Structure 1
Amino acid sequence: MTDVSSPLAEQASAYYNDLLRPLFADRKFLIAGPIAVGLGGLARRLNGLGAQRPFLIAGSEGTGALPSPEEAELHVLGLDSKDILEEHRDLEQVIDDLPGELRRAIDAWDPTGSASFIFSSPLAASRTVAPRRPYGARPAAWAALEDKVQIDAFWDAAGIARAPSRIVPADYDAITTAAEALDRGLGTVWAADARDGTHGGGLGLRWVRPGDDGRTSYASLRRMADRVRVMPFLEGIPASIHGIVFPDAVTVFRPVEMVVLRPADGDRLFYAGCATAFDPNPDDRASMRDAAYRAGKALRDDVGYRGPFGIDGILGEDGYVPTEMNARFGAGLAPLAAGLPDLPLAPLCLAIIHGEQLDYRPDLFERAVVESADTHRTCAGWSVTRTTFDESGVLEVVRDGDEYRRSRSGEESHGTLQFGPSVMGGFVRFVLHATRIKRGSSTAPEVVRALRLADRALGTDFGELHAAKNLRP
């Protein structure tokens, strides 16, 4: 990582560590989440604030360095789930009915039942492992904001412009009638409701392309939804804007590109992470920040919301339009804080969600994150794959013309291609070195090139993928 420390970054990191240390010092935390590698990061952050060694329940190991025995007591369930939604629900079932051996291990670690329980899953609602109390859990009313058939009413009430849409029953004729009325020539996007719980990663979305009668898409959606939102497919850069609702203020940050790629055929979009190299034009940046501020204020006023949130949308020909709300700690917060390695971001968000009454100094937090995110850019992408890797590894890569290839002996690399196991088979992550990042440019084409290399060098099957066009340079 390039050293991008500044007086403001150092001030903010020191302030929030000092603010949170008395809150977390000597506390016990039982933490459950899908990936052990990710839970290890949270464990290290809590340890740094003086918490006792936590107990971690992970669905699978993941790719990367596992937490050491000194950092945490780790129990990996070895779930065999087909996608992130099934993985989350499998983990919920384990938490609701713990295996005897696991419960005994937890009770031996926490015999008094005084530990706090953190469910660190992106789709999590409030849960606990009795008698332990949940910490930083979001109420059902907050999770309900992620229902894609409900959120358009929220945009309208908050005065946030959006794309046209129709909410219709999960009936083929109703859906296709709406699609015919809304199609602008690139097809339409159909989104399932949250009847069976929150879904993410594009699992409840279908892009019905021009010439497709939509029957296959309809058949899959009707099994998971009672209602469907239909929108036109919009050309443009997928982008998110994130903020945090504090007790007395709303902070908003800079835009984050969502690396959403387009397979050559089929009705699925391909989510491949997020990055901050891309710059919208100044007017679009301002409008995205304004939308996030309006949304954060409405969240607080309407449902008493506290904590991080993110808006996903498209920078299309008419400007930025939101498509969904993530009422939680979104993936884009990590690259936003990449240049602030000492900032206790996750514990801070947990404290805000839980309602801890502290002097949060929202203005300091916003200024530090925006300054750092504008300075320290990221160009990266990642995805699961059906290709199985038994162990983790890293390829050093260089850009050669319009493609990436493996670096040769003695050759300075331009980036890395990490690979390893996941609950769905394998996992691949591409990271371009900071010195090679072209500020302002879209990350998606670089990820497409990197995944082509993964197919050639690692035997993955990502196939032909395409990036969105920037219509508003």
Structure 2
Amino acid sequence: MTDRTPAPAARPHLTSHHQVLDDAVEALHRHWRGRRVFLLANQFTHSAQLLIDEVEACGATLAGIISRTHRPQDVAAPVFSFAEHGIELAPHEFEDHLTQAPKVLRKWLDEHDAGRSCTVLGSIWTTMPRLCGRPVHGWRRHEWAAWEDKVRVEQLWADAAVPSPRHTIVPLDAPGLYTEAARLDGGRGVVLAMDSSRGIPGGGGRGLAWVRSRAELDAAVASFAGRADRVRIAEFVPGVPCSTQALALDTGIAVFDPAEEAMLRHPGTGRFYYAGTSTWWRPPAPERRTIEAYVRRTGELLVSLTGYRGIFTVDGLLTARGFLATEMNPRGAGGLGFRPGRPDFPSYLFHRAAQESVPGVVDLPADAVQAAFRDVIAGRPSFSGALTPGSGPAAPAEPGPAPGTHRYTTPRSRMTIDYRYEGTSARVVELTPTTEDGAVGPAVAEFAHFLGNPGLVGFEDDSVRSTLGPAGKHGSEPTVPAAGGTA
């Protein structure tokens, strides 16, 4: 993560609304103090370790870890590993096997929790309410997850009067699919998004294909076969990809500032690459207010339809036509940028507490939470992300300011990026934007070129043209339904 502000003391400077954060921490300590916890680890990532740290900081004890893969290193708690019991699972199979709970797992659980008093913590994707009689805290309700469908969400935009790109929704095997794609092509191609009828494809550009020719369209449809029933075909519109996180509480919707998503695309393959999220970006005030209104309406409708509680995100593009929504994630997500400014705050447990309507959290005043989160994030802007090197750096890297880091200065934007290698990725440690609005997307594309990925371009790049629709055609107006209408 990036940040250039000196580390804060144990508690940051407080304004009146910052007290709400300390109130939340006290409520979380009351809830977790003295509890024992089992952690479900589909993959033992840095986020999983942060969750363990939060649990222990709030006074709970880690009773054990249930891992899909081999046991994590440097973990003192007991570990049940499916892999070490000869059960090799793909990531999407992990929860099914937890639900079925083989005998060897049930025996291990009872050995470490004979009274079945432990609480279970999973990931943001966990949808099971109980594990062998033990409650799962912060599980994802099915009626919430259903709105992550990149096709179904168009109905939510329509009912909330939130604009989205011009689009149509058709069966994947529709004979008129090519005709519809050509009709919607505004000169830069179209984006195909698969539905979640066969499972949620996830974020970061998964389940999407950018196509600009009949051959690319045929390839995209073939790649979606067996994975989706319907697709959304939408006009490709250049702009700044952005994500706005918000929090649904009993007292209302707290909407945080929009963050820039460094989403790159490859004209040669039509694939999207998520490189990270930046809270340095500051779009003009009128656009920020407009995005906030759209996100608030989306959250209020989501709550009225499903009773949703917790963090959700609205993703989209800030274009020359204004903001256009593309997808909604009814779950916690990365890239909020809150932790650099308040590292002592248990962010992961905070979201789960809202989901579970924990007293002292779910009833916090939404306006105070919104103001406090915005202050913390704006006071410590950051970039969180990593890129996978291609053929290797185009030139020798300069040494960075810290041990193990390297420094690269982008030739066009003159932005300095400090990074380090973590496994197969180059993770950005620090950067400072040089643009007036703080946007980093074009510079991140330059960094990708340096790392040996010369084909990647940013979303703002308007140089690629399509052969799907009439030559020279340019885009028309987005879909902006009236409230209660349909797209």
Query: TM-score scaled by structure 1?
Result: 0.83
1:212 Cα deviation from its structure 2 partner:
4.3
1:277–1:439 Cα contact (<8 Å) kept: no
Answering whether residue 319 of structure 2 is matched by residue 292 of structure 1, we say no
1:237 Cα deviation from its structure 2 partner:
0.7
Q: Which residue of 2 aligns with 1:7?
A: 14
Match of 2:442 among 445, 449, 467: 445
1:337–1:369 Cα contact (<8 Å) kept: no
The secondary structure found in structure 2 opposite 1:277 is coil
- Give the residue type in structure 2 aligned to 1:167: I
Structure 2 CA distance for partners of 1:13 and 1:329, relative to 1, 3 Å = same
Answering whether residue 44 of structure 2 is matched by residue 35 of structure 1, we say yes
1:87 Cα deviation from its structure 2 partner:
5.3
Distance in 1, matches of 2:240 and 2:429, equals: 20
The secondary structure found in structure 1 opposite 2:176 is helix
Q: Which residue of 2 aligns with 1:69?
A: 75
Structure 2 CA distance for partners of 1:451 and 1:163, relative to 1, 3 Å = closer
Q: Using the TM superposition, name which of 347-356 and 39-48 deviates more.
A: 347-356
Match of 2:250 among 247, 251, 263: 247
- Give the residue type in structure 2 aligned to 1:322: A
1:231 Cα deviation from its structure 2 partner:
0.4
2:302–2:308 Cα contact (<8 Å) kept: yes
Residues 366-392 of structure 1 show CA distances to partners (whole Å, capped at 9, x for unaligned) of: 1111012122111342246799xxxxx
1:126–1:138 Cα contact (<8 Å) kept: yes
Distance in 2, matches of 1:452 and 1:282, equals: 32
Q: Which residue of 1 aligns with 2:64?
A: 55
Structure 2 CA distance for partners of 1:60 and 1:314, relative to 1, 3 Å = farther
1:181 Cα deviation from its structure 2 partner:
1.5
Instruction: Say which one has the larger Rg.
Output: 2
Q: Which residue of 2 aligns with 1:369?
A: 373
The secondary structure found in structure 2 opposite 1:214 is helix
The secondary structure found in structure 1 opposite 2:188 is coil
1:464 Cα deviation from its structure 2 partner:
2.4
Query: TM-score scaled by structure 2?
Result: 0.81
Match of 1:25 among 29, 33, 56: 33
Distance in 1, matches of 2:132 and 2:429, equals: 41
Structure 2 CA distance for partners of 1:354 and 1:370, relative to 1, 3 Å = same
1:37 Cα deviation from its structure 2 partner:
2.4
1:448 Cα deviation from its structure 2 partner:
2.6
Q: Using the TM superposition, name which of 91-100 and 141-150 deviates more.
A: 91-100
**Count of equivalent residues:** 436
1:12–1:365 Cα contact (<8 Å) kept: yes
Distance in 1, matches of 2:27 and 2:91, equals: 32
Q: What percent identity do the matched residue pairs reach? A: 25
Q: Which residue of 2 aligns with 1:270?
A: 273
Structure 2 CA distance for partners of 1:380 and 1:44, relative to 1, 3 Å = closer
1:54 Cα deviation from its structure 2 partner:
4.4
Distance in 2, matches of 1:205 and 1:78, equals: 32
- Give the residue type in structure 2 aligned to 1:268: R
Q: Using the TM superposition, name which of 148-157 and 337-346 deviates more.
A: 337-346
1:43–1:54 Cα contact (<8 Å) kept: no
1:444 Cα deviation from its structure 2 partner:
2.0
Q: Which residue of 2 aligns with 1:126?
A: 128
Structure 2 CA distance for partners of 1:231 and 1:282, relative to 1, 3 Å = same
Q: Using the TM superposition, name which of 436-445 and 260-269 deviates more.
A: 436-445
After TM superposition, the runs of 4+ consecutive aligned structure 1 residues lying more than 6 A away are none
1:74 Cα deviation from its structure 2 partner:
4.9
Match of 1:469 among 460, 463, 487: 460
Distance in 1, matches of 2:49 and 2:258, equals: 27
- Give the residue type in structure 1 aligned to 2:193: A
Residues 310-359 of structure 1 show CA distances to partners (whole Å, capped at 9, x for unaligned) of: 001111111111111100002232x2443121222211111110122334
Q: Which residue of 2 aligns with 1:397?
A: 407
Supply the RMSD in Å over aligned alpha carbons. Answer: 3.1
Distance in 1, matches of 2:318 and 2:21, equals: 32
Q: What is the correspondence of 1:51-450 to structure 2 with a 5 Å cutoff?
A: 51-59=60-68, 68-69=74-75, 72-74=77-79, 88-98=91-101, 103-120=106-123, 122-171=124-173, 173-200=175-202, 201-210=204-213, 212=215, 214-333=217-336, 335-358=337-360, 359-383=363-387, 394-399=404-409, 401-402=411-412, 415-420=418-423, 426-433=424-431, 440-450=437-447
Q: Which residue of 2 aligns with 1:408?
A: none
- Give the residue type in structure 1 aligned to 2:294: A
- Give the residue type in structure 2 aligned to 1:279: R
The secondary structure found in structure 2 opposite 1:35 is coil
Distance in 2, matches of 1:290 and 1:468, equals: 24
Structure 2 CA distance for partners of 1:431 and 1:76, relative to 1, 3 Å = farther
1:302 Cα deviation from its structure 2 partner:
1.2
Q: Using the TM superposition, name which of 355-364 and 247-256 deviates more.
A: 355-364
Structure 2 unaligned spans of 5+: 392-402, 463-487
Structure 2 CA distance for partners of 1:231 and 1:292, relative to 1, 3 Å = same
Structure 2 CA distance for partners of 1:419 and 1:155, relative to 1, 3 Å = same
- Give the residue type in structure 2 aligned to 1:428: A
Distance in 2, matches of 1:30 and 1:394, equals: 35
Distance in 2, matches of 1:429 and 1:131, equals: 40
Structure 2 CA distance for partners of 1:416 and 1:73, relative to 1, 3 Å = farther
Distance in 2, matches of 1:45 and 1:348, equals: 10
Distance in 2, matches of 1:112 and 1:440, equals: 56
1:206 Cα deviation from its structure 2 partner:
0.7
